[in-house]
Structure 1
Amino acid sequence: MEELWNKWELPVMVLSSLLLQFVLVLFGNRRKYQGKWSSYVAILVWSTYLLADWVATVVLSTLLRSERKELNSELVVFWTPFLLLHLGGPDTISAYSLQDNELWLRHLLGLIIQVGVAAFVYTRFRTNSTLTYMAIPIFIAGIIKYGERIWILRAATRRQFRNSIFSTVDQAPASSARQASALTVDHSTTKVPPLLDKYLESKNVIKEGRYIYRAFCMFKTFTPLFSDLNLKIPPDMTDIFILFEKSAEDAFRLVEVELGFLYDVLYTKKTSWQQSIVGIILNSICLLSTFMALIAFSIEVGKSGYPKVDIAITYMLLGGAIFFNMYSAISKALSSWTILWLTIPRSRMSKFVSKFVVQDIISWLVHRKDKKRTLYMAQHSLIGYCLQSKKNRLTSIVRFIDTEDILGKLVLTSWKEVNHDVRNFIHLHLLEKQHKYRSSGFRYEVLLDLLSKKGDGVLRENELLEEFDWSINGVEFNHCLLIWHIATNLLFYHDQGRHSEFGSHCQISKLLSDYMMYLLLVRPNMLPEGIGELRIQETRKEVNGLFINESLSRSEVVNVMSGLDFELAMVIPQSPNKSKSVIAEGCQLLRGLHEFGQWDHNDKWKLIADVWMEMLAFTAGKCKWREHATQLRQGGELLTHVALLMAHLGLTKRIKIVTDYSHRLVHFDSALLGWNWEELSQLPYYLA
């Protein structure tokens, strides 16, 4: 066994490192898409991401402590520089989480040590054969890839990401600065920015890719929000942020592209830097180096007597390196960054070519990307989770590791597409809020009041706040979600068997209710702080105690609970800490909603849908922008899209529209230059 291990230890680990790189290449970029497999893809990428660096490091350390007599052939030493390529990682993933970006110094130290170890190993076991010189191109490619990864990680750190906003401050021409200083400091002289669409027309941006360029401009504009910075702008510049003229489909499409740019910057190597001349040259060097090594090895291998297994592994490593580089080049060519670069003709020749070639290319790329863009919303039923967790208990070992039962919650999560009705409903609700804000003259206290509504605003408008205020303002927000979720689900199943026509608001209420419950169960960090987990545990005990002697299906349990009246609900066993029973309160709310017999069926569900939409907007306004960026690594959330839509409409505390702007212009004369959509060099002057 010892001899067998010594013979196959290095080949197996090298092939394992290569296999892990293939997994990262194929699945690294898949985690940004939502769907029923998104959580499992995230787990696969996370485990592979951690193993990939560890395996490559173990192979180098094994070679370091090996003796020459323990190596089967010279090819084993030739594998050393390929490990640097593997440590550099593929372009589809540079970091798994935001915390990985902050560890760029650790990776820099690792680069110095690993390159030193690889060079020492190769020098120690070097021979006079041509194989020694064939490794030099691979060494060069490995150092470039590893260094590129560290550069990308550093650029995505919190400090550098924030500093990138200020990188264009010193780029304003001196003549423009002199012109600005000659102007009097008067708010009326502030240059009103052109509408973005008019700007794109003036820049001759190709129509087919115009929405990509528009999304990039808005992405750059809203970068300060994800860096926890505030913006203060005058009222005559609100067209920069407010996109109320867009349809729901266009608005969601724009936000999705913006978040795609943000994901690339934070988690991958596919950024504007890679589209630059330096990036193209470095990637070309890596590709040419691996081709040269493959050709040289093909010539040399016929003159030597290397073991066939080692030759096969070497070909696999060379082929894998070429595949990674080719895949990287193709993925970059098909990315939004390439479309962005192609949308503006930069010379007369490019203008001529764009009419016949580039437009068709952009159209094909845009159509290909639109087919991939499908927004989903996760769904979770509290009652279903409580009942299922009772029947399918995890083993004690898994429960010891998974203390929050994340795996059990993910297994029970379903996914629904955010259809046209849901998008329209969300968009119209946000437009109504924006209209109230705009009508008030952009008064900040009005904005704070709009963002503080969590369902009570809808009840007040319908003169029902007195009856149902206890379920919203009388409890904490997480408790409120549980009460309304139970009532909505039970009422949904109750009405489903009694009404032949199911209106869109009924479906929307169910979707939003189950989505908010998913956030409470699986993404609690995106909700306001509370004791939601404790309430859920109490509810599980209540459900298990209520049906402990019954063997009922989920539909039967729902039917039983739908028939509970207020008196019966009150006798449900209380939780051990004598707190209020969530099921009892949910049934109380159900009875209250059901007793309004004068309501039309659709009006009742319109009210419930509006309440859930206010809760969703309230949550989006409370969630930290850093948390929104964090969730992009697992496909992103509908809540993030809603938060960014609200920012586009000025509905965020981070953007304050001020009437008196003269005090800002005293310190920043360059703000008088107006807004520069192309460079956005004036953006730092509007930071609070």
Structure 2
Amino acid sequence: MEMNIQVAVLASLFLQVFLIFIAPIRKKYSSSWILTPIWLAYLLADLVVDYALGLISRAQVAGGASDSKGDAYGDVLAFWAPFLLLHLGGPDTITAFALEDNELWRRHLLNLLFQLGAAGYVFYQSFPSSKLAVPTVLMFIGGTIKYIERTHALHLASFSKFRDSVLPPADPGPNYAKLVEGYVTTKILAMVPESKSQLVNVAEEDGKDLDDKEVIKEAFSYFKTFRGLLVDVIFSFQERNGSKQFFMCRTAKDAFRVIEAELNFFYDVLYTKADIVHRQLGYAFRAISIVFIVSALASFYFLSKHGFHENDMRITYTLLLGAIGLEFVALVRLICSDWTIACIATSEEQGRSDQEQKKGHFRSLFIYMGSNFINFLLKFKSERSPFALHILHARWSKSIFQYNFLETQLKKCPNRIEKLLGFLSLKEFVDDWKFKKVEQFSEKLGELIFDKLKRKARWGSTDEICGSRGKWALEHNDSRDKCKKLLRFVCDVDYGKSLLLWHIATELCYNTDESATDPDESATGCCCNTDQSTNDPRKTCKVLSDYMIYLMIKQPGMMSGVAGIGQIRFRDTCAEADRFFEENIFRKRNTSKRNACRILLSVPTEKDPAVVKGDRSKSVLFDACILAKELQKFQHKTWEILSEVWVELLGYAAIHCQPFMHAQQLSKGGELLTLVWLLMVQLGLSEQFQIEDGHLSARAY
């Protein structure tokens, strides 16, 4: 049992060290090779502590204090118990692995009471004769504070509490009875809607790039304004106009930098202790915790060690130094966090206002020191030294996963192997390994998305844009008259069917484009990680096309609100493609994507497939061929039209995806769809801006 206790206590410390350093990586990487170890460590951390506390309690009851080591062994066990409370509090970098963990805060509260009782019982067994009573009490208080922090953080991030915290105060509005009574009786009042006197001044790009400090400050400001997005809070026209005016005069690069930083604040609130720690009470409790832990080390160091076993002393010092090391790392992360930079930057702006009013000299000195501190931190990042604190580096994975219909059909395993893999439940794993590719988000792709959305925000109404999934793009381009033939592929079909239609049509056009130097370039299996993958509309369209199909097939939860029976339609289309390729391609061993596309386009399509086949099968293979032939008639305009349609299809999915699903992706490396969602909200392209008129005001004639 003695060895088990030692291993369990040290394992608990190791898991805390692992989590404090590795847990933040999950918002920057979407690989399962990163997420799975973090998930295992998160689960094991609590289990190991429970196991260790159980062993210590059992040893105390069984007379561990009176074995061959003497009474000192029981004192050491009692001293180790508060460390386990400290570990149960967990690191600041992770309180929840998934959003569902926040809903279990009551379970953690009950566990807190139970573990406090267990640790208190262990201490009681060695009291009052314990030689380590003072450091044990100090560690007990420090560990309790840490565990309370975690439980409180989970409570605040739970759905009901988070919703209550962001709801605006009840607003009865102006006194309707008195206002209308005066208007009716005297006829001397005019009712002026509040919004009539406030117009949006949409400026062009000012050409000024935001520095890192401004990015964080603006992101924090909009985070505080729009944090209610996650619980479907409605917003007013003032909030819409403020964010819209800011983003309309930004470059695409700066707009996405602000969005990325804003999503980082959302992540911190939902998955870490940031919202707890970055408060005055949080600072106070953190200071108390650190002081008590350091005091426990000092107290233990100066105590007489007579009667203590050497191995127990080594483990005890390891626990103490580990606890102080974890607190030091947490303190450094707290000081260097975006929250601290945003707080100081906001206070700096307020300090300038105080200086203009000739007041607040002490505050101005504090702000001056804070400003220098921010510049010092940001200088680390710009110099890129080996020990730099990369505060602004990689706020999300920037991975755009790709899944291609044609490639999966041409390179799939033989039917016998497919059936065997399905029987062994390995088919999805093998498909991901073979067909799921990754492109990196590039500035060119960001510019395309931002420019198209900004154009819609400038000229289109919110209802029209949010409800459009290609129609607006086809009706507002230079070839709008010719595009009328394409409207039926977006207006007369549901979103899931439209998505698959345009994906296959894009692939057909991509692989038969004679102006391209290498039509099969993307089919080589290489993953392009540079801007070359999105340097022209043709490749950009393919990236967006493969990404949207990936979401529909591999992330159906994010598309469930719009894609409907998308997966059934995809399977039926695959079945028809299997039959067609078996008859026309595989037998002739012409399996290149170019040849497959040419053979598909050679099929006569004068008759609508639904007329010939009926509508029992949901396949859209030859409907997509009809669409591709129509698109090829536009020649050099084809890719411009496709890019506009794909951005609109992307935006439609983003704005109709449940906020809960967007929030879930923040802990898995993030998704481009989530960035587009928040960007559309900031540009005013959201149905959550429902307060248009505000209060009516009375004005005399």
TM-score w.r.t. length of structure 1: 0.80
CA distance 1:333–1:408, shift in 2 (3 Å):
farther
CA distance 1:163–1:534, shift in 2 (3 Å):
same
Residue number among 3, 22, 30 corresponding to 1:8 in the alignment: 3
- CA distance in structure 1 between the aligned counterparts of 2:456 and 2:472, rounded to whole angstroms: 11
Residue number among 331, 345, 351 corresponding to 2:364 in the alignment: 351
Matched position secondary structure for 2:97: coil
Amino acid at match of 1:153: L
Residue number among 256, 260, 284 corresponding to 2:260 in the alignment: 256
Cα pair 2:102 2:155 within 8 Å, conserved:
yes
- CA distance in structure 1 between the aligned counterparts of 2:299 and 2:333, rounded to whole angstroms: 28
The aligned residue for residue 295 of structure 2 is 292
- CA distance in structure 1 between the aligned counterparts of 2:81 and 2:420, rounded to whole angstroms: 43
Residue number among 541, 545, 552 corresponding to 1:520 in the alignment: 552
The aligned residue for residue 677 of structure 1 is none
The Cα shift of 1:363 comes to 3.6
- CA distance in structure 1 between the aligned counterparts of 2:648 and 2:417, rounded to whole angstroms: 36
Question: Does 1:306 find its partner at 2:309?
Answer: yes
Matched position secondary structure for 1:279: helix
- CA distance in structure 1 between the aligned counterparts of 2:604 and 2:48, rounded to whole angstroms: 57
Residue number among 482, 490, 498 corresponding to 1:472 in the alignment: 490
Residue number among 321, 324, 327 corresponding to 1:322 in the alignment: 324
CA distance 1:348–1:373, shift in 2 (3 Å):
same
The Cα shift of 1:228 comes to 0.6
Q: Alpha-carbon deviations, 1:142-182, whole Å to 9, x = none?
A: 11010001111111122222222357789xxxxxxxxxxxx
The aligned residue for residue 12 of structure 2 is 17
- CA distance in structure 1 between the aligned counterparts of 2:589 and 2:467, rounded to whole angstroms: 36
CA distance 1:553–1:612, shift in 2 (3 Å):
farther
What root-mean-square deviation, in Å, do the aligned CA atoms of Structure 1 and Structure 2 show?
Answer: 3.9
The aligned residue for residue 481 of structure 1 is 499
Amino acid at match of 1:351: S
The Cα shift of 1:54 comes to 1.9
The aligned residue for residue 113 of structure 1 is 114
Matched position secondary structure for 2:455: helix
Residue number among 438, 443, 449 corresponding to 1:420 in the alignment: 443
Q: For 1:51-62, what aligned pairs fall within 5 Å after superposition?
A: 51-62=44-55
The aligned residue for residue 63 of structure 1 is 56
Question: Does 1:80 find its partner at 2:75?
Answer: no
Amino acid at match of 1:531: I
CA distance 1:192–1:540, shift in 2 (3 Å):
closer
Amino acid at match of 1:159: S
Matched position secondary structure for 1:472: helix
CA distance 1:569–1:256, shift in 2 (3 Å):
farther
Q: For 1:462-611, what aligned pairs fall within 5 Å after superposition?
A: 462-495=480-513, 498-499=516-517, 504-527=536-559, 528-542=562-576, 556-566=591-601, 568=603, 579-594=617-632, 596=633, 599-601=634-636, 603-611=637-645
- CA distance in structure 1 between the aligned counterparts of 2:145 and 2:213, rounded to whole angstroms: 32
Matched position secondary structure for 2:640: helix
Cα pair 2:341 2:374 within 8 Å, conserved:
no
- CA distance in structure 1 between the aligned counterparts of 2:462 and 2:318, rounded to whole angstroms: 60
- CA distance in structure 1 between the aligned counterparts of 2:299 and 2:423, rounded to whole angstroms: 54
CA distance 1:166–1:581, shift in 2 (3 Å):
closer
CA distance 1:396–1:338, shift in 2 (3 Å):
farther
Cα pair 2:81 2:119 within 8 Å, conserved:
yes
Cα pair 1:102 1:158 within 8 Å, conserved:
yes
- CA distance in structure 1 between the aligned counterparts of 2:588 and 2:339, rounded to whole angstroms: 51
The aligned residue for residue 161 of structure 1 is 162
The aligned residue for residue 694 of structure 2 is 661
The Cα shift of 1:456 comes to 2.8
The Cα shift of 1:223 comes to 1.9
The aligned residue for residue 613 of structure 1 is 647
Amino acid at match of 1:297: F
Q: Alpha-carbon deviations, 1:505-542, whole Å to 9, x = none?
A: 11210111121122112222222141222233334545
The aligned residue for residue 176 of structure 1 is none
Q: For 1:174-193, what aligned pairs fall within 5 Å after superposition?
A: 186-187=192-193
- CA distance in structure 2 between the aligned counterparts of 1:393 and 1:292, rounded to whole angstroms: 65
The aligned residue for residue 459 of structure 1 is 474
- CA distance in structure 2 between the aligned counterparts of 1:605 and 1:191, rounded to whole angstroms: 42
The aligned residue for residue 31 of structure 1 is 26
The Cα shift of 1:337 comes to 0.7
Q: Alpha-carbon deviations, 1:455-493, whole Å to 9, x = none?
A: 233334433455334533343322222222222223223
Amino acid at match of 1:370: L
CA distance 1:400–1:456, shift in 2 (3 Å):
farther
- CA distance in structure 2 between the aligned counterparts of 1:184 and 1:39, rounded to whole angstroms: 63
CA distance 1:605–1:240, shift in 2 (3 Å):
closer
Residue number among 636, 640, 645 corresponding to 2:674 in the alignment: 640
- CA distance in structure 1 between the aligned counterparts of 2:590 and 2:341, rounded to whole angstroms: 50
Cα pair 1:219 1:262 within 8 Å, conserved:
yes
- CA distance in structure 1 between the aligned counterparts of 2:143 and 2:33, rounded to whole angstroms: 30
Question: Does 1:275 find its partner at 2:278?
Answer: yes
- CA distance in structure 1 between the aligned counterparts of 2:665 and 2:454, rounded to whole angstroms: 26
Amino acid at match of 2:552: L
Amino acid at match of 2:549: M
Amino acid at match of 1:521: I
Cα pair 1:491 1:590 within 8 Å, conserved:
yes
The Cα shift of 1:581 comes to 3.0
- CA distance in structure 1 between the aligned counterparts of 2:296 and 2:514, rounded to whole angstroms: 67
Range with bigger deviation, 38-47 or 420-429: 38-47
Give the fraction of aligned pairs with identical amino acids, expressed as a percent.
29
The Cα shift of 1:28 comes to 1.4
Cα pair 1:196 1:240 within 8 Å, conserved:
no
CA distance 1:189–1:28, shift in 2 (3 Å):
closer
The Cα shift of 1:600 comes to 3.8
Q: Alpha-carbon deviations, 1:385-437, whole Å to 9, x = none?
A: 4566637979989977789x378537743332322221111111112111223
Question: Does 1:218 find its partner at 2:231?
Answer: no
Cα pair 2:78 2:136 within 8 Å, conserved:
no
- CA distance in structure 2 between the aligned counterparts of 1:303 and 1:524, rounded to whole angstroms: 64
- CA distance in structure 1 between the aligned counterparts of 2:337 and 2:320, rounded to whole angstroms: 26
CA distance 1:544–1:61, shift in 2 (3 Å):
farther
CA distance 1:98–1:576, shift in 2 (3 Å):
farther
- CA distance in structure 2 between the aligned counterparts of 1:508 and 1:589, rounded to whole angstroms: 19
Matched position secondary structure for 2:645: helix
The Cα shift of 1:114 comes to 1.0
- CA distance in structure 2 between the aligned counterparts of 1:154 and 1:11, rounded to whole angstroms: 33
The Cα shift of 1:652 comes to 0.6
- CA distance in structure 2 between the aligned counterparts of 1:553 and 1:58, rounded to whole angstroms: 64
Question: Does 1:381 find its partner at 2:413?
Answer: no
Range with bigger deviation, 47-56 or 340-349: 340-349
- CA distance in structure 2 between the aligned counterparts of 1:414 and 1:97, rounded to whole angstroms: 25
- CA distance in structure 1 between the aligned counterparts of 2:589 and 2:13, rounded to whole angstroms: 46
Cα pair 1:255 1:645 within 8 Å, conserved:
yes
Residues paired across the two proteins, number: 620
Cα pair 1:185 1:662 within 8 Å, conserved:
no
Bigger relative contact order, structure 1 or 2 (CA pairs below 8 A, ≥6 apart): 1
CA distance 1:157–1:413, shift in 2 (3 Å):
same
The aligned residue for residue 528 of structure 2 is none
The Cα shift of 1:623 comes to 1.2
- CA distance in structure 2 between the aligned counterparts of 1:114 and 1:537, rounded to whole angstroms: 51
The Cα shift of 1:192 comes to 6.2
The Cα shift of 1:643 comes to 1.4
Matched position secondary structure for 2:94: coil
